């Protein structure tokens, strides 16, 4: 998931490369260059200097300190923002198996429907029809 995509969907201020790909969500102490982490308690500010996280979500008061170490997302409530990122992350990782067929669609048993196809509301797929990949 790109940092720019996170900002587009959740808001916040990104200081860094919007094209940076995030592959994991992790705590500051175990994060790597492809991880997104957060700092909500100033008590743990010393971890900000040593984290390897590709991006850290911080409060406005830590903007300069966080930016000095690398990419950061500035949010009023970093803990809540990270929780929302976690939900977004879950949704992006949940991919249904097989074709997505709306409950109101009618599909003839002889029709061939590719596993990546989507069939919308009130669609009728008749005998012998072939629905291709990504359609």
Instruction: Indicate if 36 and 80 belong to the same structural domain.
Output: yes
pLDDT at 1: 92
Q: Indicate the SS3 state at residue 68.
A: helix
- Give the domain CATH number at 40: 3.40.1390.10
pTM: 0.70
Instruction: Indicate if 106 and 87 belong to the same structural domain.
Output: no
Instruction: Indicate if 33 and 85 belong to the same structural domain.
Output: yes
Residue 72 near residue 57 (C-beta atoms within 8 A): yes
Q: Compute the half-sphere exposure of residue 51: CA atoms within 13 Å on the CB side of its CA.
A: 31
In whole angstroms, what is the distance from residue 39 CA to residue 54 CA? 13
Instruction: Indicate if 79 and 107 belong to the same structural domain.
Output: no
Instruction: Indicate if 86 and 113 belong to the same structural domain.
Output: no
Domain range enclosing 110: 100-131
Structure confidence by residue, pLDDT tens digits, 8-22: 999 999 999 999 999
Instruction: Indicate if 123 and 107 belong to the same structural domain.
Output: yes
Q: Which DSSP letter does residue 106 get?
A: E
Count of the separate structural domains present in the chain: 2
Which helix (H) or strand (E) element contains residue 65? helix 63-69
Structure confidence by residue, pLDDT tens digits, 18-62: 999 999 999 999 999 999 999 999 899 999 999 999 999 999 999
Instruction: Indicate if 24 and 88 belong to the same structural domain.
Output: yes
Q: Is 91 exposed, middle or buried (0-12, 13-18, 19+ CB in 10 A)?
A: exposed
Instruction: Indicate if 27 and 45 belong to the same structural domain.
Output: yes
Which residues, 6 or more positions from 4, have their beta carbon under 8 angstroms from its beta carbon? 14, 18, 19
Instruction: Indicate if 54 and 105 belong to the same structural domain.
Output: no
Report CA 62 to chain centroid distance, whole Å.
24
pLDDT at 115: 87
pLDDT at 53: 97
Residue 94 has pLDDT above 90, yes or no: no
Q: What values do phi and psi take at 63, rounded to 5?
A: -50, -55
């Amino acid at each position: 998931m790109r940092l720019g995509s996170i900002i587009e969907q959740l808001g916040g201020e990104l200081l860094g490369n919007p094209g940076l790909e995030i592959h994991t969500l992790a705590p500051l102490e175990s994060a790597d260059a492809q991880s997104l982490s957060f700092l909500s308690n100033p008590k743990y500010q010393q971890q900000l200097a040593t984290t390897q996280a590709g991006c850290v979500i911080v409060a406005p008061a830590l903007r300069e300190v966080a930016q000095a170490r690398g990419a950061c997302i500035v949010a009023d409530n970093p803990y809540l923002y990270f929780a929302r990122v976690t939900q977004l992350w879950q949704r992006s990782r949940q991919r249904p198996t097989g074709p997505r067929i709306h409950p109101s669609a009618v599909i003839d048993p002889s029709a061939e429907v590719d596993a990546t196809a989507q069939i919308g509301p009130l669609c009728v797929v008749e005998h012998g029809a072939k629905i291709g990949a990504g359609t």
